[in-house]
A and B are shown apart, each in its own frame.
Chain A
């Protein structure tokens, strides 16, 4: 282990600082979870453990309904954003216009949620008016509802929000792939698709899987864009926010916040542990394969 021998205390101090900072960033979340299990809620002097607030939450049909929409939206976002990120990353490797592509793919990260959400809202409202006009004047009834606010428009907002992450995660994994393997496969007679699917894809699968998990979590947690673009239905986070602003922070909002955080942590933690374990295993196998004959 590399250490700063000239100043071991500074080295240790930095580690402590780093872990404290991560802890401080996570502290509010854990504190919320802690409160959500207190029968007396926030600010009470006594702490009695209870599942009641979660029971209240699960008994609320509006919340359960919203959970269904959230999961549906999350699945649809993964199904679109991840392949899109993969295709864009493949394109990035071969195109001459790298700067244009990377700017386009990453730009949504830099536009704050309220701004992008409002721009999309006005855009879709305009498109919707145009479609209505076309439906009225030309009788094209089937296009009337294309851009009505609803699942589709919320999905566009979510894909725009998540695709930069999918793109970056997959691109980072791809940077470890050696393109000579594709060339080798092609010169052995594989088609472009075969070379991709049988040679490259198995090696970037981890990236695609983590991108899927991250996209799902980001979609699950998204509020502002969804709220602006969703039309009639509600997701878990929009219900939570309307609870918070309308009824103050009641105990079951703590339970909802706890649920969202725990699900996020489980998915992200699971992916991290899984991918680290995989790296560990690959390294072990590589070391075993590299052991010279007779030396073991």
Chain B
């Protein structure tokens, strides 16, 4: 395809010219996101107060779905899922963030991106497969137990790591850890390297440098990564389904089960609670740390 020759006064000018219709093409992605993302997500709030009918729902104004949610075991399970997701966030931070700092501080600039790209590989293999693949690894006669038995570290297989809350947390960490590395690194990228040299020259200790220099500078990235892991740990229903054993649920799996049970208002109520939680978290984060700083290196 070559350029479009623009003759004065032609229809081509009206379509392809500088002020032609073609400039509206740039609005298409935003329009698509509004129509297919923002509107349905926002409407969950409206649908959540609709009346449930046998197979569908009808317009109305009732808090019945919320009542069902808060007065059943679902609310309690939701709270447990929140705790598990929060633990997964902390573990991912402890395991993943030092890598972001290390790569930015100590690894030659020319290969920094390549090292971070190593974490793309596990991330690009289906989450489904990675979660599913944890079963044979964590099972009673799985890889971890067999290995520990061979080493003589344990006498009998550990059964606490699969079909338990611990299994769910392991699944969350294994699924979302790369995100902490990415967003941590992105935030660290905005920090000039000489900052670390200054710290070294001034004789600041490792802990001091970390607490007073790295943490405040990387806060937006850490926060963005944490919200991502928290919300997905809470919302990806497959992880408790596959690794959590009987009765293990989170917001995602409760929503899915409500859809299967044709209780659409309930599904929408839980979705709405999730969306409101997410928006509140992002808003607080933006207010505290100005999340746009995460995107500075690319804009």
> Which residues of chain A have a CB within 8 Å of any CB of chain B?
1-4, 11, 14, 17-19, 21-22, 24-29, 31-32, 35, 42-43, 84-85, 87-88, 90-92, 94-95, 98-102, 104-105, 107-116, 118-123, 125, 156, 159-160, 163, 167-168, 171-172, 175, 190-194, 197-198, 214, 217-218, 220-224, 228, 237, 240-241, 244, 249, 257, 260-261, 264-265, 268-269, 272, 276
Contacts and interface: CB of A to CB of B under 8 A. Distances in A.
Interface in B8-38: 16, 18, 25-30, 32-34, 36-38
Contact of A115 (B114, B121, B252, B299): B252
The list of the 4 closest CB pairs from A to B, nearest first, reads: A112-B235, A221-B126, A114-B252, A28-B133
A32 B129 contact: yes
B254 to A, nearest CB: 9
A54 B267 CA distance: 38
A100 B33 CA distance: 11
A111 B41 contact: yes
Given A87-B29, A104-B34, A160-B36, A118 B128 contact: no
Given A91-B27, A112-B274, A119 B135 contact: no
A101 B134 CA distance: 38
Given A84-B32, A116-B41, 19 more contacts: A27-B137, A84-B28, A112-B231, A112-B234, A112-B251, A113-B237, A114-B236, A115-B255, A118-B259, A120-B36, A122-B268, A163-B33, A167-B29, A171-B298, A249-B132, A257-B132, A260-B129, A265-B125, A272-B120
B126 A26 contact: no
B143 interface: yes
Nearest to B57: A122
B292 A84 contact: no
Contacts of B3: 190-191, 193-194, 197-198
Contacts of B178: 25
Given A28-B133, A221-B126, A260-B129, A119 B38 contact: no
Interface string B84-112: 00000000000110110011001110000
B99 A18 contact: yes
A33 to B, nearest CB: 9
A244 B243 CA distance: 13
A25 B128 contact: no
A26 B135 CA distance: 14
Interface in B269-299: 271, 274-275, 278, 282, 292, 295, 297-299
Contacts of B297: 175
Nearest to A4: B106
